[in-house]
Every structure is written in structure tokens, then in C-alpha cells.
Amino acid sequence: MRVPLGWLRDYVDLDLSPDALAERLTLLGFEVKGLERWGSEWRNVVVGELLTVEKHPRADRLSLTTVDVGAGEPLQIVCGATNIAPGQRVPVALPGALLPGNRAIERTEKMGVVSNGMLCSGDELRLSVDGEGILILPLGTPLGTALADLYGDWVLDVDVKPNRGDALCLVGLAREVAAATGKVARFPEILLREDGPPIGEVLAVGVEDPELCHRFVGRRVNGVRVGPSPGQVQRRLLAAGTRPVSNVVDATNYAMLELGKPTHAFDAGAVARDARGRAALVVRTARPGERLETLDHVERVLSPETLVIADENGPLAIAGVMGGAASEVGESTADVIIESAVFDPVSVRRTAFRYALRSEASLRFEKGQESRLARIGADRVAELIAAWAGGRIASGRIDTAPDEPVPARVGYRPARVDRLLGTSLGPKAQAALLARVGIATEPAPDGSGVVIAAGATPRSVAVAPGEARGAVVPTWRRDLLIEADIAEEVVRLAGYEAVVGKTPDTAMPHVRPNPLELRDALRRALVGAGLTEVVTPALVPASAAAALGWPVLAAGGVPGEAAVDGPLVTVTNPLSERHAVLRRGLVGSLLDVLALNERHGRGDVAIFEVGKGYAQAPDGAPAEWWRLAFLVTGSAGATAWNLPARQYDLDDAKGIVELVARVLALPDPAYAPHLDGAPLHPGRAARAVAPGALAGLVGELHPSVLAAWDLRAERVLVAELAISGLSAGQLVPVRVAPVGRFQPLERDLALVVPEPLAAAYLAATLRGAGGDTLRQVALFDIYRGAPLAAGEKSLAWRVVFAADERALTDEEVDADVARLVSAVASAHGARLRT
Amino acid sequence: MDLATLTSQLRALGEEALPKIAAAPDLAALAELDVAYLGRKGGALSGLMRGIGQLPADDRPRVGVAVNEVREAVEGALASARQRTAQAALAARLAAEAVDVTTPGRPIARGSLHPISETISRIAEIFGQFGFVTYEGPEVESDATNFQMLNIPPDHPARDLWDTMYVDIDGGLLRTHTSPGQIRVMHAERPPIRALLPGRCFRYEAVDASHASEFFQVEGLMVDEGTNLADLRGLLDEFAHAMFGAGRATRFRPGYYPFTEPSVAFDVGCLVCGGMGCPACGRTGWMTILGAGMVHPVVLQHGGIDPERYQGFAFGMGVERIAMLRHGIGDVRIFLDNDLRLLEQFR
Ligand SMILES: [Zn+2]
């Protein structure tokens, strides 16, 4: 809320500098987010007196004036306005002046006559909304005074929290300033001259639904003259960020900013009369099919939940949200009806959202209004209208619920307040602090409990005699309901420096496994392997999720994974189409990162992400699971003068998959050619599986994907891995196998096989035939070419045999090798290369 | 052959061999000289020794002594010449092997952790020293868990603090904060509770230099009998000092959250100006790093904890905010952009 200090002074004395006041308010819970010198925009604008006003010799529509600005020779200034006359005091923008909107004023020539500056309208200075005539200043205004000194003001931008609707106004903030500075807040004194007819003869109000309209206070002012508000009122409204409209409308806005009470003024002439000739209003919900053209000139079809102010012909206004165009106060309005009501906060909030019409008024209704304000608001607005627009105030008010509630009692235990705060203020100091915001304290009646929780789950506890006190809460403080609220009020007023920090010294919780352990271990390992971690948005375009067509695999035994191919989770109110669904996989996001970095001229990219996939489970519940994905392209590792470039290839990608398995102490993943429709190179993609622990695809992206993402890279290797334990698994301690005392025996076997045979199958046959002394089967060379036939390849394996308890003999190992050779010969047609 | 002749021949041999050995240029030449003088077959000394047998028996021991003297002299000369030559050869090899030591080394590729996960780790490490245990909750929550359990009923005006994205699951929404985790932890654990909940959050918020629609938070929760605001202040001071330096000024000021009562905002002295006031801190000298407060009794009740017996505090901080202050980052958008020119600075 924008708070002009010149206006705030009406309600409390201020002897602090604006900076100091801002800090006090901030420390009291009313954060000052900005401190602005209003009027700092008027540079080189001073008060002048018109000495002469004559016709411009060459232009009928212009006047030639001489102006005394209090110093030096009178200035000759050309002016286009018609409301000026000698003797008036006016704002003069001197050459070199800068007006709002960065409008620079210079000495100019207008139709052959030199103009030494400009006379300003209120609109040009943003001092009023009058853009037609020159702003005429009061007669006694001192000549030569800078306008910034005359009308400038400090304006605080105060962040009023949603629970403090009572302070969303100048009077409310004045109360807080008073609490902070020890001054006394002044409520505006309302003096009404009720010289009109009795209200009962000119206004009738019916409330059909008191649940939605707790109180309606109506007043009427007859015979007003609608026109501009006084200059000071316009200046105050503008400084507070509200555009002046007319004296009647400004009166309602002025009272809202002053008291926090939104009111509405109807043109009484547009309200139907009842049989007794009274303007008759009714507060009710809208009937099916009813329509209303609101003040913004939008015709709205009203839903049946909408609370309206109506007459017998239909709705006139949406209660608490916006008035109707037909009953709007305008220049022809003679009689005005003032509505000052308390509407149900939830109803107003819902209605404002329904019509996308959240206003300063609806914001205040939503936060709840104290009943008293209905009466005070009606009186204040009637007073201001009569003062600014004339007219006679009808005597008395229509009031549908004149009984005003008494202050509530909130019980609290001073010892508990100190226990919660970690302070030792004691009952007396607490009471003194509360008194600063008008909260009186008294002994709580014996037998009364203390309310420690309210709302949906209320809870009251019994207390020992004398243990509790009662806080008498002013009616405007709707936020103080339970003991903890009183504690907050105490510490807020004491200042949080009263809370002296100490390191917690109570019992420690039990040790629990760290759910990030596995992911952190993987992150660190991959960073060590030269990959950079990325974190990308979880929300992606719906089209991208479909376009990539990456099959989502499951590792097995992972929470949420059953849903991996369930329907996408779609945002129903997305910020943009680019962030519309929750992704099921990470590869598309990595492609986006590659594309961005390629645009920056970067071809070598090695990145990974540990992130979530999301989908809907078959029962419609949301499911989330963790994934690891990486992408490598361009030069593998670093390149330098002493390290020639090498391009990433599929073997690098598989090496990364194996590193991941090793970090997690998983079995080595087995690879199988991938034949399903993944967006991968059909000959360079593998399914990697470590049963029950890891599953995923690793491969080179299909050129069509590169084209779809507009990527320049020729070869991009990607993988996405489902890993059990990624969500909250723990690293398993290594189980050490004893190092054998006996020397293992090694043999090398070069096996010639047909080209299509995958190495993994050959290895599996070797392992299967090896017996229990076979310790290792490792591929160490692949050879193609003479003397092998075309369509053949030689895979060279090192096989290692060992036994724990004895030395193996060459003879038995030779026998084992012979068994291996015959096994692969019969299984795969392999022969030993000689 | 008589004794005198043999003796003089031995002396001559020594006088001939020693300068030759001293002048030998390399190990090969020394090996030749070794064979030539000391070789068992055909060596000069062996040749002379064959003459010993012709001497009278009385002379033989004396000649034997003389032979040994010459042999030792030659052998000694050869050994020292070998050592000298080896040293020279080594020096020559090392000289030949010299490289330009001023060139840069062979780089070892290393990636970098993303500042978000790095910052979360740092936060968890600091609070871990105070016994805070890490938990996680889901990102797709419901109105009940994201709002109602946290004392934010439907149509409550405080809902304006969280612009929310909803999903096509009945009652489902993307969590706007990590606070729903408070309830989950309270249901899973009995006091004493010290919990930390990092994770991704979502808001319906237009993206600019200081706002993101996806961002990360870390929530903290401590519940025990007697846990109070002073504990919260003390703990957060420790955190601020660990994260931003031991001398960093801190302050509490009132805040507002429906799920804490009292609520506070926690400020640290401006990291740019140190408290003098500058544009970065809105000329206040302070920067807000997190919101916190004593857990509202209604929230404790929703967590199944008796608010009459137990008290607790909760805090929530924006990971990006902490990272921005810590690393001098001016624009929140860099975190999800993943421009490698920026990320790789975290190596
Ligand atoms: Zn600063």
C-alpha cells in the first residue's frame, strides 16, 4: 500500500525521518518495500504569478503571457490554455525543467515569439487529472517556491500482510506508527450536518441473505454537484496511487484509503422506487440469466452464487467487487446513495476471482471487515460528499444489523508466551507491550480455558487458577484468536532483538538414512568423469514429450515406477505451452540444453541430470520416480596441445553406464542390441540391464532427432537409466573377497565367429562353460581382415583361472580351455584363430 | 726371464695401462682395456704371470705381491673410470631429455556440480552438524497437503502468497513450497524431530530476473518439548555464519505465514555493501534470506503432535536465493538455462 506521509500526518504525529520511520515499520511487521520522493519528478518547476495575458499576435488559440517567478525579469511565456487571467498563481516550468514522463522543457519559439518555459496543467504535473486548463494555485502561494517543496511528499510502499486487513489503510498504519513511536493515533473526527429528509423516507434496504451480507448501512445525500475534488484531495489520491474521478467517487476512495472501508455510491436516480417512493435496494444472489454491465463497460452474465445489490428491475452492482454502469455516479447525478456494507469474505473473494475483477475494494472485503466500519464508513463518505460536492445529508442511516460486537477476550498464559519465545519478559512487561496497540489485559475468569488452536481443529486447555490472563482485543484486530497470536503480538512489539539466540541443546533425533546419498555419490562420480551436472525444468511442452518418443524403462522394484508409461500429468493453468506437462523422462531436456549451448557456439558438451519422471498411475494418483540421464557429444574429455582430440562414441557412453554401476556396486550391466522404436541409431543403441537394479537405453541419437532439435552435432550419445535406489537408496558397503594365495593362470583365446554374433553372447557361453575355477572373461581385442574371411571377426579374450586352496596345474587349465573352445564351437560355430 | 725383468715389465704394464684407462672415453673402451690387461686368456697381466713359473721358487712370492699390486691398481682405475663414465653418460642422457617445463600440463577432464545441488548439499551439511536429517516429499501434492493441512483453508486471503499451478489429477497441484513435507515428517517421526526437506517447487509466476516458475527450496523443521524462538534464532545465526561468513550481522523481523505463529523473516547484513545501504539491498543494509517461525498449533495437530506438550519451529529458504548471494549471481534464470559457460565456472 502506498502511504503519503503528508496524509498519514492527519492521523498521527511523525517526528522521525522517513528512513527511520520505514525501518521502525519494517521491524514492526509492516515491511517498507520502497521509499519514494513523490514530486521529485518536478525539476525546475516554480510558482509564478501571471502579470499579463494577451492574445498571441499570430495565433488565435495561443496567449502571450508575462510571468513573475519571484526572481529576475518577468518571463514571456506562450500558453494554449484558456483558463488563465492576470493575478493568478500558476506552476511554471522553467527552461531546463523535466516533467513527469521525462518531458524536457526548453526555451522555444512559438509562431515567431520566444517562450521562456511553460505553464503547467495539473495532469502534466500528475497533481490532478485536469489536462485542460492550467493548474491554478491558491492565491497566497509564495512566488518562486519550487513546486517540489510545495506539494512534494514522501510515499512509503508498505507491504501489509494478508492477516492484517485492519492495517490496509492510513488509520490502521497510524495505529502501528503510534505503537512504534509512543505517539497517539487520531481517528478522523466525523461531523455530519444531517439537513436532508429522514432516511426512512428516501431509502429502503432489504438483505435476503444475511450470511453473505452481515451488515448494510445506507445513507443518502441529495442535491450534490458532481465535479472535480479539491486540489489537495486529488494530490493525496494521486500520491497514494488512485486516480481522481469526481468528488463523489473520490470521497469513497478517500474513505477506503483512510479507514480501510470500501463503500459504493449509487446514482439514486437510477434506482427504482418502491410504493412509498423510496429508492429500494435489495441484497441477494443473482437469479439465473441475470446480466449486469459493470463499470468497466463489460456486460457480464451473473452466476447464481454472485451476491448483487439490486433494485426491482435487476442487479445494480456486484457486491464488494464492482458497481454497475447504469447506476454510476456521473455529471448529471443529483442524489447519491451510499452503500457501506460488510460482505462475507469468502463470497467476495470467489466472486472477484470468478469475474477476474480483483480490486482494492474486494481485497479489503476478502480480509474481513469489522462490523463497526460499516457505520463509520457511511458517515465519513456522507460527510466528505457534502463537503466536496455539496448536498444535504438525509438524517439517520438505514442499518440492517446495528448491534456492534464487543471486544473479544483471548486467554493466554504469560509463562507459556515466554516459553514459546524463549524470553523471560513476565506478565507485567507483556501487558505493557500489548497496551501499546490498545490491547488491555485482565485476569482470566477462573475456570475458563485457554484456546491454543482455532479454525477447523479448535483446542482449548484447562489452566490452573491465576495461570492465565485475558487479552481484550480491539474489534479491528481480527487476527488475534489464540494464545500463540498473543505471543506473536508481544514479541513483535518488544522487538525481535528481545529474543536472544541460543544453540538448540535438547535431545537429538535418531539417525536416519540420507535419501540423497546415492544420487550425491553418482553426481560426484560423473563430475569426476568430466560430465557437468544440469538441472532443467520439469515442465515441458506437451509436443516435446510426444515428439521424442523415448521409451521409459523401469529398473524394477522402484517406487512409483509402475506408472512409467501412464498418462502425462498436465498442468491445467500452464504459464505457457512451453511448460505444460510434467516430463516422463530427461533426454528431451538434455537435448534442449545441447541446443542452447550450440547456439553459443559450443560443440563439445558432456552433461548429466539426476531428475524426476512423472505420470499418472492406473488409479489416477500421481507417481514420481528418479532417473539418471546423460548426453555426450564432440570431443571426449579435455583437448590440449598435448592431448589430441578424440570424439565421444558409443563405447564412451557405455563406459559411463559401467561407471555408474560400479559406483553403486551393481553387477556389470549386460548389453543387448536395442530393436524397439527408440529415437536412436538402429545399429548403435543398446539396452543396458543389471537385473533388478539398473535398466536403460544407451545409444547414438537418430539423425532425425538431431534434425528435429535443430542440432548441428553429427553424433550425440545419450542414455537414460532407471536405477533402483535412486529415490532413497543407500550405498552398500563393499564385501571384500580374500586375495588368493595361489597364482592365477591366464590364457588368451582368439575366437573367430560370424560378424553378427554379439560379443555378449560369446562371453556368456564362455562363462557358462568355465567351471568354478574360471574367474574372469575379458575382451581385449577385436580383429577383422585377412586372413579371416569376409563376414568373420576374431574376438580375443583373456580368461583367468584360479582356485582358493591350491595351485592349478597347466594340464587342468588346458582341459578347461579345451572345454570352452568346444562349447563356443557348438554354440556359435566359433573356431580358434591360429 | 729373471725377477728384475719381470718386475720391470709389470711396472711398465701398470704405467702403460693407467693413463689409457684414465683417457678411455666410454664404457666400451673400458671393457676393451679390461680384457686387454686383465683378461684371463690373452690379457697382458696373464701373459706376464705365465713367466712366474720360470722364476726360482724363492722369488715367486715377491712377484706374486707385485702382480697383485698391479692388478689392484688397474682394477681400481677401471672401477673409478667406469663410475666417472657412467655419471657422464647419465648427465648426457638427462641433458638430452630436458623439456620445456613451462608448458601447461595435460588437462584432466572434470565436470561441475550444478549450483542448485551444490548449494543444497552445503545447506544440508551445515544443518547436519546440528542433527538435522534429510527427508523428501512428492512434488505433485493436493490442495489438502499443500494448503489446508498448513492452516491455509480454501478461499483464505493468504492464498494470494502462492500462485498455484494445478494439474489434471483430482485435487492435484504442483507444490508451491516444501512445507507440505512438515506434515509428512511429523507423521513419520516422533519428537525430537530435526528435519530438512530439499526439493523442487512450482509457482504460477511470470519468469524474470528474480522470479522463476520452477525453483528449489529447503524446508527445516524442529519439534520438541520447549523448542522455542531463541533456538530458531541461534540455529539460523549459525547457519548464516557458516554460509556467509563468521562476522555476518543477522536480524529477525516479523513476517507472516499461516503455518507459523509467530512468523519471522531472517535477514543478513547486505553482502554487497556490508550494511551501509546500496541498490542491491534496497538501501536498507539488509537482505532477507529465509522465512521462519514457530509451527502453528493447528499444523502440529495436523501432524498428530500435541501442541500443548510440544513446540517447534520451521523455516524455508530459496536455494537459488542462497546461491545467488553466495556466488554473486544476479539473475535467477541462469539456474535452469544451463549455459555451460556459467556452469563450468563451478569446477
Ligand atoms: Zn547493500
Note the CATH architecture for domain A517-723. Answer: 2-Layer Sandwich (3.30)
Confidence check: pLDDT of A715 > 70: yes
Cβ distance of B254 and A572 shorter than 8 Å: no
Cβ distance of B130 and A534 shorter than 8 Å: no
Q: What is the band of B249 on the pLDDT scale with cuts at 50, 70, 90? A: very high
Q: What is the band of B48 on the pLDDT scale with cuts at 50, 70, 90? A: confident
Torsion of CA A69, A70, A76, A77, to 10 degrees: 10
- Could you tell me the CA-to-CA distances from A232 to A239, A388, A468 in Å, in that order? 10, 11, 50
> Which among A162, A485, A496 has CB closest to B161?
A162
What is the pLDDT at residue A331? 93
- Dump the DSSP string for A576-631: -GGG-EE-S-SHHHHHHHHHHHHHTT---EEEEEEEEEEEE-TTS-EEEEEEEEEE
Q: What is the band of B181 on the pLDDT scale with cuts at 50, 70, 90? A: very high
- In chain A, domain spans: 2-39+154-181, 43-151, 199-399, 408-498, 517-723, 745-832
Cβ distance of B121 and A520 shorter than 8 Å: yes
Cell numbers standing for residue A564: 512409467
- Global pTM reads 0.89
What is the pLDDT at residue A399? 97
What is the pLDDT at residue A558? 60
CA geometry: angle A265, A270, A272, nearest 5 deg: 110
> Which among A366, A527, A728 has CB closest to B110?
A527
Q: What percent of chain A is predicted at pLDDT more than 90?
A: 73
Contacts of B140 in chain A (CB under 8 A): 569, 582, 614, 622, 624
Q: What is the band of A736 on the pLDDT scale with cuts at 50, 70, 90? A: confident
Q: What are the pLDDT digits (tens) for A531-569?
A: 999 999 999 998 876 667 777 666 665 656 667 778 899
Fold match between domain A408-498 and domain A745-832: no
Cβ distance of A497 and B297 shorter than 8 Å: no
Contacts of B230 in chain A (CB under 8 A): 421-423, 499-502
What is the pLDDT at residue B175? 97
Query: Is A43-151 in CATH node 2.40.50.140?
Result: yes
Q: Give the mean pLDDT of A631-660.
A: 93
Q: What is the band of A455 on the pLDDT scale with cuts at 50, 70, 90? A: confident
Task: State how far the Cα of A375 lies from the Cα of A216, in Å rounded to an integer.
Answer: 8
Task: State how far the Cα of A171 lies from the Cα of A12, in Å rounded to an integer.
Answer: 9
Confidence check: pLDDT of B313 > 70: yes
Q: What is the mean pLDDT of chain B?
A: 92
- In chain B, domain spans: 3-96, 115-346
Q: What percent of chain B is predicted at pLDDT more than 70?
A: 100
Beta strands in A263-412 (DSSP E): 264-267, 279-285, 291-293, 299-301, 307-311, 314-318, 322-323, 336-343, 392-393, 398-399, 408-412
Q: What is the 3-state secondary structure (H, E, C) of A727-745?
A: CCCCCCCCCCCCCCCCCCE
Contacts of B158 in chain A (CB under 8 A): 162-163
Cβ distance of B112 and A616 shorter than 8 Å: no
- Dump the DSSP string for B34-96: HHHHH-TTT-HHHHHHHGGGGS-TTTHHHHHHHHHHHHHHHHHHHHHHHHHHHHHHHHHHHHH
Q: What are the pLDDT digits (tens) for A111-135?
A: 888 888 899 988 888 888 887 889 9
**Cα A157 to ligand 1 centroid, rounded to whole Å:** 19
Q: What are the pLDDT digits (tens) for A770-819?
A: 888 999 999 999 999 989 999 999 999 999 999 888 899 999 999 999 99
* Residues 316-345 in B contacting A (C-alpha not used; CB under 8 Å): 335-341, 343-344
For residue A417, which amino acid is it? V
B228 contacts chain A (CB < 8 A): yes
Cell numbers standing for residue A758: 554379439
Chain B nearest CA to A515, separation (Å):
7
What is the pLDDT at residue A595? 96
Confidence check: pLDDT of B1 > 70: no
Q: Is A28 strand, coil or helix?
A: coil
Confidence check: pLDDT of B113 > 90: yes
- Could you tell me the CA-to-CA distances from A311 to A201, A342, A396 in Å, in that order? 16, 19, 21
Cβ distance of B131 and A419 shorter than 8 Å: no
The CB density around residue A43, as the number of other CB atoms within 10 Å, is 17
Task: Identify from A496, A524, A641 which residue to disrupt to test chain B contact, counting B C-beta atoms within 10 A and taking the largest count.
Answer: A496
- Dump the DSSP string for B109-151: ------HHHHHHHHHHHHHHTTT-EE----SEEEHHHHTGGGT
Inter-residue contact B223 to B186 (CB < 8 Å): yes
What is the pLDDT at residue A547? 66
For residue B164, which amino acid is it? T
Task: State how far the Cα of A384 lies from the Cα of A379, in Å rounded to an integer.
Answer: 9
Beta strands in A488-604 (DSSP E): 532-533, 539-540, 569-570, 581-582
> Which among A455, A508, A573 has CB closest to B151?
A455
What is the pLDDT at residue A616? 92
The fold adopted by the segment(s) A745-832 is Alpha-Beta Plaits (3.30.70)
Confidence check: pLDDT of A765 > 90: yes
**Cα B254 to ligand 1 centroid, rounded to whole Å:** 20
Q: Where are the alpha helices (DSSP H) in B210-304?
A: 229-244, 297-302
Q: What is the mean pLDDT of chain A?
A: 92
Chain B nearest CA to A45, separation (Å):
28
The fold adopted by the segment(s) A199-399 is Phenylalanyl-tRNA Synthetase; Chain B, domain 3 (3.50.40)
Contacts of A367 in chain B (CB under 8 A): 157
**Cα B287 to ligand 1 centroid, rounded to whole Å:** 8
Contacts of A520 in chain B (CB under 8 A): 117, 121
> Which among B131, B170, B298 has CB closest to A453?
B298
Inter-residue contact B324 to A523 (CB < 8 Å): no
CA A780 vs. chain centroid, Å, equals: 58
Task: State how far the Cα of B291 lies from the Cα of A233, in Å rounded to an integer.
Answer: 39
B241 contacts chain A (CB < 8 A): no
Which class is A2-39+154-181 in CATH?
Answer: alpha beta
* Residue among B185, B314, B194, B313 at smallest CA distance from A508: B194
Task: State how far the Cα of A255 lies from the Cα of A259, in Å rounded to an integer.
Answer: 6
Q: Give the mean pLDDT of B173-186.
A: 97
Confidence check: pLDDT of B134 > 80: yes
Task: State how far the Cα of A517 lies from the Cα of A536, in Å rounded to an integer.
Answer: 21
What is the pLDDT at residue A535? 98
Contacts of A162 in chain B (CB under 8 A): 156-158, 160-161, 256
Query: Which of A240-249, A432-441, A513-522, A554-563 is predicted with the least confidence, judged by mean pLDDT?
Result: A554-563
Query: Is B115-346 in CATH node 3.30.70.20?
Result: no
Which class is A408-498 in CATH?
Answer: alpha beta
* More confident of the two residues A393 and B156: A393
**Bridge partner list, B101:** none
Q: What are the pLDDT digits (tens) for A663-675?
A: 998 888 889 887 6
Q: What are the pLDDT digits (tens) for A373-429?
A: 999 999 999 999 999 999 999 999 999 999 999 999 999 999 999 999 999 999 999
Query: Which of A302-316, A478-492, A644-658, B28-42 is predicted with the least confidence, judged by mean pLDDT?
Result: B28-42
- Dump the DSSP string for A255-291: HHHHHS---EEEEGGGSPB-TTS-EEEEEEEPPTT-E
Chain A nearest CA to B268, separation (Å):
14
What is the pLDDT at residue A543? 83
